[in-house]
């Protein structure tokens, strides 16, 4: 199936649009150094989670600048130190490619969400079966895991989300212009945990 081809600026706009949809108590997993603050609705009650100490320190500084009072959690998405059903939404950009165990992370996300809670994930994903791009991703992943903070190029994140029980409401499968290996397959997923109204 042909997917839309966009550039980095178009992707940035879409990311902001998706992240801007969450409301209430929001957990951002793998929040890095806080690139996403400008995209959130000013009324959200933001909480971040980031295992890397240096990034977490920067994240804490930027969180204060954006008037978020919660101290970022020193934790991994596979073991989130929050009670069951305690957040309204979970977001993650370029983090499901990096976690050690996506199924465990998504089980935790589901546990802490209220029934019907919202998830927004943005990530590069595996190319369709039988493509040269997929072969390149398969070859590149052992290297990128080592040199790019655990990044996997060969993850089927849409399938992982479905297997974890999340139901997509707005799913965008795109290709983003990139050099030197050509367009990168990208997923933007706005979905819900089971339950709710
Ligand atoms: C590519 S960066 C993306 C950062 C940020 N979300 C952004 O879009 O700028 C991936 C982030 O995931 C974090 N990370 C790696 N393993 C993780 C895990 N198991 N649980 C949560 N975060 C993790 C890394 O420390 C890093 O900050």
Ligand 1 geometric centre to CA of 4 (Å): 26
Look at 138-142, 158-162, 169-173 and tell me which has the smallest mean pLDDT. 138-142
In eight-state DSSP terms, residue 156 is -
The percentage of the chain sitting over the pLDDT mark of 90, rounded to a whole number, equals 81
User: 163-186, pLDDT tens digit by residue?
Assistant: 999 999 999 999 999 877 789 999
Pocket of ligand 1 (CB under 6 A): 29-32, 35, 50-52, 55, 76-78, 93-95, 98-100, 149-150
Whose tokens are 């959690």? That residue is: 73
Superfamily of domain 4-192: Vaccinia Virus protein VP39 (3.40.50.150)
- CB neighbour list of residue 153: distance below 8 Å, 6 or more residues apart: 97, 124, 126, 137, 138, 140, 141, 144
Nearest CA residue ID for atom 22, ligand 1: 30
Spacing of C-alpha 61 from chain mean position: 21
């Amino acid at each position: 199936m042909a997917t839309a081809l966009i550039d980095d600026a178009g992707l940035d706009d879409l990311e902001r649009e998706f992240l801007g949809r969450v409301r209430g108590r929001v957990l951002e997993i793998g929040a890095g150094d806080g690139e996403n603050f400008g995209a959130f609705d000013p009324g959200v009650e933001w909480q971040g989670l980031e295992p890397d100490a240096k990034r977490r320190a920067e994240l804490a500084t930027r969180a204060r600048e954006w008037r978020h009072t919660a101290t970022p959690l020193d934790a991994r998405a596979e073991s989130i130190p929050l009670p069951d059903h305690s957040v309204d939404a979970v977001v993650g950009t370029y983090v499901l490619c990096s976690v050690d165990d996506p199924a465990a992370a998504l089980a935790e996300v589901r546990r802490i969400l209220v029934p019907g809670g919202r998830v927004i994930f943005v990530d590069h994903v595996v190319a369709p079966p039988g493509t040269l791009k997929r072969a390149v991703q398969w070859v590149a992943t052992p290297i990128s895991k080592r040199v790019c903070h655990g990044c996997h190029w060969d993850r089927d994140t849409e399938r992982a989300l479905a297997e974890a029980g999340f139901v997509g409401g707005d799913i965008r499968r795109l290709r983003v212009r990139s050099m030197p290996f050509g367009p990168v397959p990208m997923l933007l997923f706005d979905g819900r945990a089971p339950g709710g109204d």
